[in-house]
Amino acid sequence: MLDLILLRHGQSQWNLENRFTGWVDVDLSEKGEEEAARAGQLIRAHDLTPDLCFTSLLKRAIKTLNIALEELDRLWLPVEKSWRSMNAIMVGCKG
C-alpha cells in the first residue's frame, strides 16, 4: 500500500507577523525550522519512509522539506520542484 504524506511549510517570518504571504518568497522563522524538524520526527515515529518528494519553488517549502528529510536521514531523495504545486493551493486564496 502507498502512503501520501502532505506537509505544509513551517511558520514563515510573515506568518509570525500575521501577514499573508501568497507567492512572496518569505523564509522560515526559527519556529518554522523547529516545526519542520518536528514534522520529520513525526514521520519517522509513524514508520513512514518517503521515496519521492514534491515541493513548490518557494524557499519556505524547500527549506521545510530539507529539514524534515534531514531528520529522516533521507536527503538523497529525488525532489520535484514546480510552481504547479502552488497553483492548486493558491487558486482559492486569491481575491
Q: Among 22-26, 60-64, 74-78, 83-87, which is the least confidently predicted range?
A: 83-87
pLDDT at 88 over 90: no
Q: Which three three-digit cell numbers place residue 51?
A: 521515496
Binding residues: 8-15, 21-22, 60
Q: What is the Cα gyration radius of the chain?
A: 13
Tell me which residue of 63, 67, 66, 62 sits closest to 85, measured CA to CA: 62
Binding residues for substrate: 8-15, 21-22, 60
pLDDT category of residue 65 using cuts at 50, 70 and 90: very high
C-beta neighbour count of 93 within 10 angstroms: 9
Could you tell me the domains of the chain? 13-90 (3.40.50.1240)
Q: The pTM is what?
A: 0.83
Task: Give the pLDDT confidence of 28-60 residue by residue, as tens digits.
Answer: 999 999 999 999 999 999 999 999 999 999 999
DSSP class of residue 52 equals -
Spell 8-18 as b/e; 16+ CB within 10 A means b.
Answer: ebbbbbbbeee
